[in-house]
Amino acid sequence: MRVLFLTHRLPYAPNRGDRLRAYHIARTLAPTVDLEIVSLAHDAEELAQVGRLEALGARVTAVRIPHGRNYAKGLLHLAGQSPLTHVLLDAPGLTDTLHRIVSERPPDAVLAYCSGMARFALEPPLERFPLVVDLVDVDSQKWAALSQSSRWPIRSIYDRESRHLAQFEQTMSAAAVATVVVNDREREALCRLAPSAKIAVVPNGIDLPPLMPPGAPAERPIVVFCGVMNYTPNVDGAQWFCEHVWPRIRAQRSDAELLLVGSHPTRAIQRLHSPANGVEVTGTVDDVRPYLWRSAVAIAPLLTARGIQNKVLEAVGAGLPAVVSSQVFDGLPTVVRPACRVGATADAFAEATVSLLAMSPGERRRLAGAAEMHALTWEAQLRPLRDLLTDCGRRHAIAV
């Protein structure tokens, strides 16, 4: 069975949310199907990782995105009807690549990762093949939420993107054999947009053994927030926490330290670095695990959050209890929630964090251990997706 997997980023290295799930899908499918991956590459670093994916046993083609050209086109398309996501996620030669693949190795099923790649599956030469869309999150709802928390003119751009993506999500869901999302909250959001769509919930997993702490739990009162630090919800969440929550914590625990760990910190994030206030902005690190293992409490203060926040799964897997926003908590798997406390307001967030810091290291480790993380292996979580693709391939073979 041949599966053509379209991704909007080359899914390696699996060190950020939009690569992580796609990487594990590729790793899970490659041993059982003839897997062909076509990815958009955003920079030379991604292009250099093609061999890592090929080592999984897949054919891999990466097509570089011309960011400057696409941004210019995006400005021109603001007056049109196309989602800007589709304009920004485009690359010269991609359609020719798909024509060549279909001519030489026609797929039995197409798996499109996120709405930005589903567009190509609805156009020639792929429109005649069975389609499964891994939407992950309902993107139109994310842009709607961001528009509510942003200022003009960004607010109007986000609102426009939400409306046009919602229209495309309706069309896409009607055309797909199945549309996959990561939790019931996303399923309900998509049901409201496309009531007749066939929707499957396929949650994220976790690769637990590499995360398990190698030593005793941390003694020092270190709070850690991990994430890509040029992603708007992470940036907004870190700024909100540092402005409204961290002073409350430091007023009670002057020895508390905060680590903001993640790649590509914006200037706004860099300005949060303040040794006098116990705040360290690390920038890009080779491995986040040592930062998790040296910390006492993880936080995820996102004010806008869709889907499942992998950062929370990884922190709990690394032995940390977590304080999270209501938006993050609502998207978490049920088995993870016993390790988490909810901070719905700045006061509540500070109180929950201070309460966890007041525990002994052993108590914090035991609280994290209350989450049944062993149930969330990627192989188990992704099995329904593999079954969907197998069924698509079987039906396609019968039809042909």
Integer Cα distance of 14 and 54 in angstroms = 15
Q: Give me the pLDDT at residue 15, please.
A: 86
What residue ranges do the domains of the chain occupy?
2-205+377-399, 209-375
Integer Cα distance of 388 and 394 in angstroms = 10
- pLDDT tens across 319-334, in order? 999 999 999 999 999 9
What is the arithmetic mean of pLDDT over 130-151?
92
User: Which segment of 140-154, 176-190, 301-315 scores lowest on mean pLDDT?
Assistant: 140-154
The β-bridge partners of 225 are 260
- Spatial strand order in the sheet of 297-300: 279-283, 257-261, 222-226, 297-300, 322-324, 340-342
The mean pLDDT value of the chain amounts to: 95
Q: Give me the pLDDT at residue 396, please.
A: 67
The one-letter code for the residue type at 82 is S
- Would you say domain 209-375 falls under CATH 3.40.50.2300? no
In the chain, the largest separation of any two C-alpha atoms, in whole Å, equals: 69
Question: φ and ψ at 276, to 5 degrees?
Answer: -65, -30
Residue written as tokens 């993050």? Answer: 328
The β-bridge partners of 2 are 34
Integer Cα distance of 260 and 147 in angstroms = 25
DSSP 361: H
Q: Give me the pLDDT at residue 397, please.
A: 64
Q: Give me the pLDDT at residue 134, please.
A: 98
- pLDDT tens across 4-21, in order? 999 999 999 998 888 999
What is the arithmetic mean of pLDDT over 255-275?
97
What is the arithmetic mean of pLDDT over 377-388?
95
DSSP letter string, 112-139:
EESHHHHHHHTSTTTTTS-EEEEEES-H
% of the chain at pLDDT higher than 70: 99
The β-bridge partners of 4 are 36, 110
Other C-beta atoms within 10 Å of 195: how many? 9
Q: Give me the pLDDT at residue 399, please.
A: 64
The one-letter code for the residue type at 399 is A
Q: Give me the pLDDT at residue 398, please.
A: 66
What is the arithmetic mean of pLDDT over 255-265?
97
Q: Give me the pLDDT at residue 111, please.
A: 98
What is the arithmetic mean of pLDDT over 122-147?
95
Cis? peptide before 233, omega within 30° of 0: no
% of the chain at pLDDT higher than 90: 90
Integer Cα distance of 222 and 219 in angstroms = 8
Q: Check pLDDT > 60 for residue 157.
A: yes
Domains 2-205+377-399 and 209-375 share a fold: yes
CATH architecture of 2-205+377-399: 3-Layer(aba) Sandwich (3.40)
Integer Cα distance of 300 and 224 in angstroms = 9
What is the arithmetic mean of pLDDT over 138-146?
93
Other C-beta atoms within 10 Å of 104: how many? 8
> pLDDT band at 105, cuts 50/70/90?
very high
Q: Give me the pLDDT at residue 229, please.
A: 96
Output the six-digit token pair for 394: 């079987």
What is the arithmetic mean of pLDDT over 266-286?
97
